[in-house]
Amino acid sequence: MPYTYVYVPPEQIVDNMFFINCNNYTCRLDKELVALDGLKFTELLKICQKIKVFARRRGTKDLMISEIKRILTFEIPEEVYITNDI
């Protein structure tokens, strides 16, 4: 089953930063997604669950970060996508 991209539209990006709202957790990320490296495993897990990273790709922090980077996009993708809800 292919994954669905999460499109972050330009109006959600302010000073190169945007928010992702997860279950009882809001994460502020930079457009380059460097902030992911500083998050705890549990915080990354919440983001992964929100953007529907496959469970088998949530085993390590590095896998989660690479999948989040692959799924979050700042240009409208040609494939299936949803818009980040804030």
Helix 61-71 to helix 41-51 angle (10° resolution) is 40
Residue (of 86, 85, 72) closest to 3 by Cα position: 72
For the chain, give every domain's residue range.
5-83
Q: What is the mean pLDDT of residues 48-58?
A: 81
Distance between CA 29 and CA 69 in Å, rounded?
11
Residue (of 25, 53, 57, 54) closest to 39 by Cα position: 25
- H or E element, residue 27: strand 25-30
In order, the DSSP letters of 59-85 are SSHHHHHHHHHHHEESS--SS-EEEPP
Residue 3 has pLDDT above 80, yes or no: no
- Reported confidence tier of residue 1, pLDDT bands at 50, 70, 90: very low
State pLDDT tens for residues 66-80: 999 999 999 999 888
State pLDDT tens for residues 6-46: 999 999 999 999 999 988 899 999 999 999 999 999 999 99
Distance between CA 15 and CA 57 in Å, rounded?
31
- Reported confidence tier of residue 85, pLDDT bands at 50, 70, 90: confident
